[in-house]
Chains A and B, each alone.
Chain A
Amino acid sequence: MKVIKIKTVIIGVLIPLVLLFSCANINLDLVNSSQVELSGVGLSEFGVDVSPEQGDWLIMRLSAEMPHLNPLTSTDAYSSLVNSWLFDSLLDRNPATLELEPRVAHKWEVSDDHLIYTFYLRDDVLFSDGHPLTARDVKFTFDKLMDPLTDAPHLKNYFIDVERCEVVDDYTVKYYCKKPYYQHPVMLGLLEIIPEHIYGKGDFNNHPNNRKPIGSGPYMLSEWQTGLQLVLKRNPYYWRKNEKMPHFDRIVYQVILDDNASLLKLRRGELDALTIRPEDLLRRVNSEKFRNQFNIFIYPRPAYSYIGWNMRRKVFSDSRVRKALTMLLNRRKIVEKVYYGMAEIIESPFMPNTPEYHSGLSIIPFSPDGAKKLLEEAGWLDSDRDGIRDKDGEKFYFEVMTTNANPVAEKILTIFQEDLARVGIVMQIRLLEWASLLERVDSRNFDAVLMGWQMPPDPDPYQVWHSSQSEKGSNFVGFVNKEADELIENGRVCFDREERIRLYRRFQEIVYEEQPYTFLFAPKAILVVDKRVHGIRIYPFGVYEREWFVPKSLQKYTYSDD
């Protein structure tokens, strides 16, 4: 889902870090060290051959609570999670093929020059208050998004080349673009539609309905107990009602901040699905009883972590130094011992095992000797013989920052710190609260930072890697490279995926050479789901809860408000 990416470009940094526990394949070491029997671990699907039935509740966890729910102004991944149940978009993305499919728009057309998009809307879509959804709501959503007063810079930046939206008739809407951009269909198609008659009045940024959202999605918000839970119930006017959609009577999100507490709740049967940590899998849920009650799924999470080097700083201005730093981070050992084998080492900002990822890039190995050589080449020697390398009177000293919310990040950094000290580099670790971390990064006031990005199905490196974003934008490391800029720009107007992949391969080679980031890991998620939930499939970009259901005979919560 494209929209998630946009939001998560900001927040994505948070989510992977907070939840960043993942996996590659379960290796032998895991088995030996803890005698985990791997039968039943890491399913790829469950109960997909049964036909879906309606009923029952699905209770899940939110690890943090969102301030409000508004598809345009919410910036955190938690609200996009909930919003996806409450709001509809013109198009849908097939989770398996990643192709766009009809949703509110039953048909759409693109002009040959990729500048005009026409969407034909269904005439039977109603908002959860009974009002019909028309082309005017679509135009309202777009205009509201582009309104300079609306607080949505993270989203706006993907629509800058869309000139205007035009209502042709009640159920036809046309977008005119200034420039072609291959992501336009995705961006326009997946923008969640908000009703004009609700959000048209009053201060949009602090709209009262941000706490009582109204959309045309399969569910509506029934109850929001701050700090406790969000309860979603069926939207009685949902247009796919006759197709037996949606499956669950209720979706409940419980706000549980603590990982251990949520695991306890899961075990008591108070949660139906939960993402757990690798050590939970090894040490806590490693029992026959647990596996009789729950299915465990292990799949790649579309996110990666990295250490970004502020290339404006003298110590990091030389690519040899940055490469040496990568060589000093023992990523293999960290995958093995910190992630228990549940993460994959990456060397580029694309999702591993997708065509966009350049598999020809070899993993830079952990090699203190190689790093020493590179550092010496770059002029970083211990000339005053005090055990710390220096160059032109400046000591090799820097501060690395990360969020205080993620113990794994701190662990990785202390391991790194030790290996750096062994070759005479002093790294200070600074844990910051999320908001102040972002503030420091946005003002470019940092040496190095460990964070994460989420990876969307169709990646566009523009936001993070284009030189235009280095002053103000997400290119906070200050990566400026003419050839890379050209490749990124060409990629944006290239509508042929194969061709784009070729461009992006060269781009990845440049990033690999330059090492503006030390890429760390693409984690895998360990998802535990109650056995009564069927219809679970693992897709390239995760699971798709909308398909889940519970067969009638296994249903646990029978209360329904229908």
Chain B
Amino acid sequence: MVWSEFKKNKMAMCGLVVIFFFGFIATFAPFIANDVPIVMKKNNRIYLFPNVIKYSDLLSENLYANFDLWKPAPGEWCIKPIVPFGPLRQNLEVVLHPPNRIHWLGTDDRGRDVLSRMIWGARLSLSVGFVSVGIAVLMGIVLGSLAGFLGSWVDTVVLRLIELMLVIPTFFLIITVMAFLPPSVWTIMVVIGLTSWPGVARLVRGEFLRQREMEYVLSAKVLGLSGIRTMFRHVLPNALGPVYVSATFGLAGAILMESGLSFLGFGAPPPTPSWGELLKQSQSYVDFAWWLVLFPGLAIFITVTAFNLVGEGLRDAMDPRLRGGR
């Protein structure tokens, strides 16, 4: 029912398509942009997908660090991905080249292929988005449902905690925390996740408060179901609707947050490719290297917009008051 409503919203569908497109690119990044071949023949043996499987005899030759220099000898061959550059592969001979036939989106200040870094950056941005929102939603649901269902002092404690988190500007809190922790992708995910749960918790709590008074809860009670069971099996599924919507918006927020952190140098440690990091680099060359600003900027803009459109679509589709209104 929600789906059929959602389908009617053209903008939201566009957003969904864009998200699937970026998701596809992110998932299959090793097959799209890499200097490690997809299939290759060497040592009289065919290696399938050396780009995702580390073969021990290729490892022992340390070929994975040297694939850009490797040329198939007679009798050997390989099929490389469509963008034959690794995201970390530097080439000082082609520093800051504008988009051209070899490097479609140009190169950065140490000759790395911008397209390849964008593709692998999509991987980072999306996974940061999903993992951190996952953490936030999980925490939010648990705390929110406890507060909403149990009420009394649990509610007070959780509410105070939510208020405490809401008065601290999240971005600065994250920057402060990141300054103390060893920089890694996981730290970013966890830190963003742990700071963005209050919104979800508040939604779930409100929904629980509403559902708690409904007759089906009463009938569950009458039937002698335990509190936990009522809470998680019956109330929770009914309370989840708004959470999906908020999670979608949260994804956009998390991606933006990660880009912001990387831009300020608090993101994943170099040389990890990420959109924000690409933008950070472009700072020094903003007056002539337009390709370093435009492409990562566009990617962030499009993804964030897509998530927001989908979020809006979901909200409209799930809100019975709006149903039929358009």
A residues sitting closer than 8 Å to B (CB atoms) are: 259-260, 279, 283-284, 333, 336-338, 382, 385-387, 404, 407, 410-411, 414-415, 417-418, 421-424, 428-431, 433
Contact = CB atoms under 8 A, between A and B. Distances in A.
Interface residues of B, number: 31
A210 B133 CA distance: 50
A386 B59 contact: yes
A387 B269 contact: no
Contacts of B66: 422
Contact of A387 (B64, B179, B265, B288): B64
Interface string B276-312: 0000000111111000000000000000000000000
B60 A431 contact: no
Contacts of B154: none
B152 interface: no
Contacts of A417: 271
Nearest to A418: B90
A338 B110 CA distance: 8
A260 B287 contact: yes
Contacts of B315: none
Contacts of B59: 385-387
A431 B271 contact: no
B156 to A, nearest CB: 39
Interface in B29-45: none
B109 interface: yes
B287 A431 contact: no
Interface string B80-114: 00000000111011010000000000000110000
Contacts of A411: 109-110
Contact of B270 (A283, A284, A382, A431): A431
Given A387-B65, A424-B62, A431 B265 contact: yes
A8 B269 CA distance: 29
11 contacts: A260-B286, A382-B62, A385-B57, A387-B60, A387-B61, A414-B110, A415-B90, A421-B65, A424-B65, A429-B270, A430-B182
Given A414-B270, A429-B270, 20 more contacts: A279-B284, A284-B287, A337-B95, A382-B60, A385-B59, A386-B59, A387-B61, A387-B62, A387-B63, A407-B284, A411-B109, A414-B88, A414-B90, A415-B92, A418-B88, A418-B90, A424-B65, A429-B271, A430-B269, A433-B179
Contacts of B288: 283-284
Nearest to A436: B179
A331 to B, nearest CB: 12
A385 B60 contact: yes
A272 to B, nearest CB: 22
A368 to B, nearest CB: 10
A284 B63 CA distance: 40
B69 to A, nearest CB: 8
Contacts of A414: 88, 90, 110, 270-271
Contacts of B179: 433
Given A337-B92, A418-B88, A410 B62 contact: no
Contacts of B4: none
B219 interface: no
Nearest to A410: B270
B56 interface: yes
Contacts of A430: 182-183, 269
Interface string B48-68: 000000001101111111100
Contact of A429 (B56, B92, B110, B269): B269
Interface in B252-269: 265, 269
Contacts of A407: 284
B271 A386 contact: no
Given A260-B286, A385-B56, A386-B56, A423 B269 contact: no
A225 to B, nearest CB: 26
Given A415-B92, A422-B62, A431 B269 contact: yes
Nearest to B281: A407
A387 B56 CA distance: 8
A336 B111 CA distance: 14
A415 B90 CA distance: 7
A429 B57 CA distance: 28
B260 to A, nearest CB: 16
B60 to A, nearest CB: 4
Nearest to B109: A411
A260 B110 contact: no
Nearest to B112: A414
A238 B288 CA distance: 48
Contacts of B90: 414-415, 418
B52 to A, nearest CB: 16
A458 B270 CA distance: 38
Contact of A333 (B60, B63, B92): B92
Contacts of A423: 62
Most-contacted residue by chain A among B57, B182, B271 (CB, 10 A):
B271
A280 to B, nearest CB: 10
A428 B183 CA distance: 11
3 closest pairs, A vs B, by CB? A385-B60, A421-B65, A337-B92
B134 to A, nearest CB: 27
B252 to A, nearest CB: 28
A338 B64 CA distance: 26
Contacts of A259: 284
B284 A260 contact: yes
B92 A404 contact: no
Contacts of A418: 65, 88-90
A155 B204 CA distance: 62
Nearest to B286: A260
A23 B264 CA distance: 29
Nearest to A264: B287
Interface in B227-281: 265, 269-271
A299 B306 CA distance: 52
A338 B65 CA distance: 22
A385 B271 CA distance: 25
Most-contacted residue by chain A among B62, B88, B265 (CB, 10 A):
B62
A431 B179 CA distance: 11
A383 to B, nearest CB: 10
A421 B88 CA distance: 11
B63 to A, nearest CB: 8
B140 to A, nearest CB: 32
Nearest to A33: B95
A106 B295 CA distance: 65
Contacts of B283: 260
A431 B183 CA distance: 9
Contacts of A431: 183, 265, 269-270
B186 to A, nearest CB: 15
A415 B88 CA distance: 10
